Amino acid sequence: MTAMDSLAVLGAGPGAAILRRSRRADVSAIVALLAADQLGVTRDGVRDESDLAAYEEAFRAIDADPAHLLLVAESGGEVIGTMQLSFLPGLARRGALRAQIEAVRVASGARGSGLGAAMMTWAIEEARRRGCALVQLTSDKSRTDAHRFYERLGFVASHEGMKLAL
Amino acid sequence: MTAMDSLAVLGAGPGAAILRRSRRADVSAIVALLAADQLGVTRDGVRDESDLAAYEEAFRAIDADPAHLLLVAESGGEVIGTMQLSFLPGLARRGALRAQIEAVRVASGARGSGLGAAMMTWAIEEARRRGCALVQLTSDKSRTDAHRFYERLGFVASHEGMKLAL
């Protein structure tokens, strides 16, 4: 890691983390965070080489496109948080650019430290810097703690988030 | 219009529409559909040249990126429907590609004809062709008719759709 990799320092003192773009070597750690989640446990994890190949292919697609930022928070050499930001053009709302946040995860040992809020605050500021008119995300209806967390940050649960598995 | 522009023929008989990628010349018609909407009326429309320039800039950004498809349904030379599809890579769900649908609108005179369902069915099939694992959209909580429409197509309102205006 070089200082130039860092997008932001989140928090202070020994618990401080740096926020940076993910690298290919982070894929396993990010997948571990996804798989540690109550809903992700059945959806994510590396069972065999084909799973790892699928994650690495997705990583390449994200990393190659400047419209996407896959980020990690790192502290003491460990990945303790992740989120993906995507910047999406659209005609609605007078041609508004939207920032979309997906797959926000904080390691269990780092929860309650303010890391998640610091990551989200950075994401909202980055959306503003890029001229977005809106930040959007969806959150499973069972994650009631997460909804309160997002509402404290200013999000409004104004929409139904509808999914169709193929 | 040439036959090669057409992605699909939706419906049959004199009411049939073709589905095609939008062109710059369609921007005004698409904006008119957005502005005719109950929620879009305050958000969309061309009040002056700077509005038009913002829409045209958004059109260029969408049109230049193969991850986005801004589509129109055309019948008798008129744009009677529109939707945007975006194909988004992500690590979650074993590196699943997602299709996201935004800004689905059907002209008032064409509602009840099955055009909206035909457009959505094409979008779901296109997502499958591109190897997506999931199709997702958000819909304002006040649009209860739209929720039933999406549920008939197989969507599940499993998530809160949260927005933060900047």
**Contact check, Cβ <8 Å, A137/B30:** no
User: Residue A140's closest chain B neighbor by CA?
Assistant: B159
Do the beta carbons of residue B124 and residue B116 sit within 8 Å? no
The SS3 call for residue A48 is coil
In angstroms, the separation between the Cα of residue A80 and the nearest Cα of chain B is: 16
**Contact check, Cβ <8 Å, B154/A138:** no
pLDDT in tens, A41-86: 788 898 888 889 999 999 999 999 999 999 999 999 999 999 999 9
On the question of pLDDT at B37 being above 70, the answer is yes
For chain A, say whether B24 makes contact (Cβ under 8 Å): no
pLDDT in tens, B57-114: 999 999 999 999 999 999 999 999 999 999 999 999 999 999 999 999 999 999 888 9
pLDDT in the model for residue A47: 87
Tell me, what amino acid is at B152? R
Q: Which residues pair with A8 in a beta bridge?
A: A19
**Contact check, Cβ <8 Å, A34/B91:** yes
Q: How far apart are CA A80 and CA B130, in angstroms?
A: 33
**Contact check, Cβ <8 Å, B55/A97:** no
* DSSP per-residue string spanning B68-81: EEEEEEEETTEEEE
**pTM of the prediction?**
0.93
Of A15, A27, A9, A8, residue with least CA distance to A70: A27
